[in-house]
A and B are shown apart, each in its own frame.
Chain A
Amino acid sequence: MDDLRTAFMTAIGLLVGLDRDLVAIVWLSLRVSLSAVGLAALCGLPLGAMVAIWRFPGRAAVAVMLNAMMGLPPVVVGLTVYLLLSRSGPLGQLGLLFTPTAMVIAQSLLVTPIIAAFTQQTMADLYEEYAEQLYSLGVGPGRTIWTLLWDGRFSLLTGLLAGFGRASAEVGAVIIVGGNMHHVTRVMTTTIALETSKGNPALALALGILLMLLVLAINAVAMVVRDTAKRVYG
């Protein structure tokens, strides 16, 4: 109990104190995870919509794959990206290992299946509703995808938030490809892992509380924006 109380007090202290190093770590976490979600959305949204709407051979298999890949272990993704970006790996000359870019790549690989699978479900439901109408208007397949994505934008936000949750919470991938370097690639989750290993459970937990507050704030903002937009432009 004592440790828990200390953790809460430390968390409050950290919030009030706003140490410069901590702000930099929080900011990097946000940038990396938001960038990863952005990149994953660019691939995941069209991919999910295509699987939902286009009829092609092996479509069911692709859908199963997308759903299964939502369970990709972060450490496996981290290791794969590490081997690709390592100086001895195929993309070694780029020199991306141990940079925030490497962390964005790893996290977007983790998040893409989540966004794609979520999009696929949402799009499939919408398509059932609008298929005939779109067909009778003579709307082509590309245009159909765009229309449905736009129409389902409020529901799709939940998928993006789920992806952000996954990205900001994982430690296994970023600690391998980022290396947890001080002032370079140290983010919230790797700091928590480091403080735990230094035998500072209270400080580690306090950072965990901050991370959860951050995710909570992002979700709250997203929901407010969504509801306001819905009310105004429906």
Chain B
Amino acid sequence: MRRRNLPILVVAAVCIMGSTLSTLAADRFITVASTTSTENSGLFQYLLPLFRHDTGIEARVVAVGTGQAIALAQRGDADVLLVHHKPSEEQFVAEGFGVTRHDVMYNDFVLVGPQAAPAGIKGITDVAAALAQIAARHAVFVSRGDDSGTYKLELSLWQTTGVNMTAASGTWYRETGAGMGGTLNIASGLEAYTLTDRGTWISFKNRGKLAILVEGDPRLFNQYGVILVNPAKHKHVKAKDGQAFIDWLLSDRGQQAIAAFRIEGERAFFPNARKSGS
């Protein structure tokens, strides 16, 4: 390595760095803030190429919890928000961060736990009663413990049972602070109970001894909504292309694509657009 070899090294380094840094000049794309359930289930990997084929627009997804996704959108770091907690979404619009909220699709939450069901809740269809039973037996329940849509629903369910799980935190009630998949990994390892959306559950492979114990309770309904981030709040929001994505999702073509999506042969999401537009 003589000194005159140095320029060659420098040129090589600059080329590598240049190629990485120049990815800025990308083509037409929008940023979608969404939840881990839609990403992990593979729904976006199925839908986005179709959307791109129809419109030429690339949709890039940041998959985080519902709370974090809303925070991202509030800061103007996304063009479109697609999450699943209606009250938070309506508040997002009411505060002027979003333009309009539209229903896109739904599925449901399920309560999963060890197949052997030591808490004896198999056969119970009332989810609140099942949770109360788990609490009464001090069977280990793993909670997301973050700001996700799943966690918010879980909290509202506990409220109806009157169980004070905050007091039980760290004993039979464990808060992971992780995403849905991470939480399921922990539940599987501990053979514990947890609440999960069906999309993540169907695509989740590390189930161990877990199985669905409670499903079908109307309170477990899981509605997804889509909102364009308000360009009046954040000037750089790609309103036209973002709206094109929303229009596509709500169109017959988009709705049929959602309906056609299967994980392991199972339907994971059910389209239900055009009912609202609050």
Residues of A at the B interface (CB closer than 8 Å) are 28, 31-32, 34-35, 38-39, 86-89, 92-93, 95-101, 104, 150, 153, 179-182, 184, 194, 196-201, 225, 229, 233
Q: Which of B31, B75, B206 contacts A98 (CB 8 A)?
A: B31
Complex A-B: 29 CB contacts under 8 Å: A31-B20, A35-B21, A38-B17, A86-B75, A86-B76, A86-B77, A88-B77, A92-B76, A95-B24, A98-B77, A99-B23, A99-B24, A100-B20, A100-B21, A101-B21, A104-B21, A181-B61, A182-B45, A182-B60, A184-B23, A196-B181, A196-B182, A196-B185, A197-B36, A197-B179, A198-B203, A199-B206, A200-B206, A233-B1
Check if B236 sits within 8 Å of A87, measured CB to CB: yes
CA distance A182 to B31 in the complex (A): 12
Q: Which of A35, A153, A197 contacts B1 (CB 8 A)?
A: A153
Check if B181 sits within 8 Å of A197, measured CB to CB: yes
Q: Which of A38, A88, A99, A199 contacts B16 (CB 8 A)?
A: A38
B88: chain A residues at CB < 8 Å are: none
CA distance A87 to B45 in the complex (A): 26
Check if B234 sits within 8 Å of A233, measured CB to CB: no
**Which of B2, B36, B60 has its CB near the most chain A CB atoms (within 10 A)?**
B60
Q: A31-B16, A86-B77, A233-B1 are in contact. Are A101 and B184 (CB under 8 A)?
A: no
Q: How many A-B residue pairs have CB under 8 A?
A: 101
Check if B13 sits within 8 Å of A38, measured CB to CB: yes
Check if A35 sits within 8 Å of B20, measured CB to CB: yes
Q: Which residues of chain B from 1 to 36 have a CB within 8 Å of any chain A CB?
A: 1-3, 13, 16-17, 19-21, 23-24, 26, 31, 36
A98: chain B residues at CB < 8 Å are: 31, 60, 62, 77
Check if A199 sits within 8 Å of B76, measured CB to CB: no
